[in-house]
Amino acid sequence: LDAIRAVEPAVAAAIGAELHDQRESLKLIASENYASPATLLAMGNWFSDKYAEGTVGRRFYAGCKNVDTVEALAAQHARELFGAQHAYVQPHSGIDANLVAFWAVLAQRVESPALAKAQARHVNDLNEADWAALRRELGDQRMLGMSLDAGGHLTHGFRPNISGKMFEQRSYGTDPATGLVDYDALARSAREFRPLIIVAGYSAYPRLVNFRIMREIADEVGATLLVDMAHFAGLVAGKVLTGDFDPIPNAQIVTTTTHKSLRGPRGGMVLCQTELADQVDRGCPMVLGGPLPHVMAAKAVALAEARRPEFRDYAQRIVDNAQALAQGLLRRGAKLVTGGTDNHLVLLDVSSYGLTGRQAESALLDANIVTNRNAVPQDANGAWYTSGIRLGTPALTTRGLGTAEMDEIADLIHTVLAGTTPGTTDGKPSKAAYVLADGVADRVAGQTTDLL
Ligand code: PLP
């Protein structure tokens, strides 16, 4: 940190403070983790200075042999770890990985001379008529994805995201009675809507998705099945999700982030069957800028870690811990979406405490418990205030916490929420303001520190 402090002390201080905060608080954000020192160091080095547009052995820049080494290694580890036919490790994030995948499916499936021209030339060589033809030829394609309030991600066709603008979009939800994906309703909707792409995968669904059934539905209606496994990639890598629940053998194309349960650097990845490989490899420059060689180096390290036998044990403990946390909350009277969990996350409906998600999130943070508010199905408070709190176990499992500690954490969460009441702003009821009973935050915060 001394080198940074000498240039911009405030940044050095913020890095130190962040390390402190992440070490000393209960990190229950389902999409976060702690990457290993080897992964972090592989990211913070001279590879960051290198440009390497293109693919391994076929670059638009000279001097890329070391980048070729790390990119080829990351792709090899990804293929072998997940049993995928092809891996593309350049996407900078999960959103980028999805965009690459959408374009690849469009390019593979849609007869479009304009797209072929766009791919063959530099974008600057396309004139207005070319762009109009591109919009005309690609414009009426359809995507069916999981709705945001059922647990889907905004890149699965949500209107404010580009995916909701590139495609005519329809979403599927969950059965209001059970909170589970209703495959029959999904199949009916797919038959009627005839999408080009069906997106499976989620950010806030606490159960397993049967990708074999999803593929059968996709095949029946002539759609490509895209699974976004960003959240549960670590459970796939660790062989907790196998057979019908493993996306790789079931979907034609799979996207992921590398930084969530997979415990790698911040980034994305696309895995696909051979038929889609050429189109996926065109991610740069079609969708992405130059790859981030330092992040690809870190992906290679993290994927090598995930291939070790102990990662399977880690993945199983993530699920054991989530189930222990769910049981602990249920025992204390909490209401959980779907009544429990089969994966790494628990969705707690805080309306039974008389709170919004926003109030609960803030009160928990005061007590040193870091979570995020999340919509529950048919959420009456909308996506900003929400009625839920999403809790995930990948990070605390990395810290070595086990099922006994999860029960204590359930108790701490319940204590905070039971000790919180809605507050007012300027004398009026507010969905953000809250009042925590005296002493609760300090007492619970003290106990969180003992746990770590
Ligand atoms: N896909 C899913 C299912 C996610 O949960 C997320 C992240 O929240 C993303 C994609 C986007 O990842 P990123 O934030 O790296 O763009």
**Annotation says 53 is catalytic:** yes
On the 0-12 / 13-18 / 19+ scale of CB atoms within 10 A, 273 is middle
**Annotation says 257 is catalytic:** yes
Q: Give the tokens for residue 243.
A: 């057979």
Say how far residue 182 (Cα) sits from the centre of its chain: 22
Residues 35-74 have pLDDT tens digits of: 999 999 999 999 999 999 999 999 999 999 999 999 999 9
Residue nearest atom 11 in ligand 1 by C-alpha distance: 94
430: helix, strand or coil: strand
Residues 291-310 have pLDDT tens digits of: 999 999 999 999 999 999 99
Phi and psi angles of residue 221, each rounded to the nearest 5 degrees, phi first: -100, 5
Residues 192-214 have pLDDT tens digits of: 999 999 999 999 999 999 999 99
Residue 334 burial (CB count, 10 A): 21
27: helix, strand or coil: strand
> Which of 71, 96, 149, 228 is labelled catalytic?
228
Structure ipTM: 0.98
Residue nearest atom 7 in ligand 1 by C-alpha distance: 94
Residues 394-429 have pLDDT tens digits of: 999 999 999 999 999 999 999 999 999 999 999 999
pLDDT of residue 136: 82
Asked whether the predicted pLDDT for residue 133 surpasses 90, the reply is no
CA 430 – CA 433 distance, rounded (Å): 5
Task: Kindly state if the Cβ of 344 falls inside 6 Å of ligand 1.
Answer: no
Residues 250-276 have pLDDT tens digits of: 999 999 999 999 999 999 999 999 999
Q: Give the tokens for residue 182.
A: 């209703």
**Annotation says 51 is catalytic:** yes
Task: Kindly state if the Cβ of 374 falls inside 6 Å of ligand 1.
Answer: no
Ligand 1 nearest-atom number relative to CA 94: 12
pLDDT of residue 166: 85
The b-or-e profile of 16-46 (16+ CB within 10 A means b, else e) is eeeeeeeeebbbbbbbbbbbbeebeebbeee
Task: Kindly state if the Cβ of 267 falls inside 6 Å of ligand 1.
Answer: no
pLDDT of residue 121: 67
On the 0-12 / 13-18 / 19+ scale of CB atoms within 10 A, 135 is exposed
**Annotation says 128 is catalytic:** no
CA 387 – CA 337 distance, rounded (Å): 11
pLDDT of residue 125: 73
Element (H, E) at 304: helix 293-306
**Average pLDDT taken over every residue of the chain:** 95
> Which of 260, 263, 358, 373 is labelled catalytic?
260
Asked whether the predicted pLDDT for residue 122 surpasses 70, the reply is no
**N- to C-terminal Cα distance for the chain?**
24
Band of the pLDDT at 31, cuts 50, 70, 90? very high
Asked whether the predicted pLDDT for residue 159 surpasses 90, the reply is no
How many helices, marked H, and strands, marked E, lie in the chain?
21, 17
**Which DSSP category does 223 fall into?**
P
Asked whether the predicted pLDDT for residue 135 surpasses 70, the reply is yes
> Which of 32, 34, 50, 51 is labelled catalytic?
51
pLDDT of residue 123: 63
Ligand 1 nearest-atom number relative to CA 266: 15
**Annotation says 385 is catalytic:** no
C-alpha torsion 302→308→313→319, nearest 10 = 30
Closest listed residue to residue 423, CA positions, set 412, 431, 434, 432: 434
Residues 349-394 have pLDDT tens digits of: 999 999 999 999 999 999 999 999 999 999 999 989 999 999 999 9
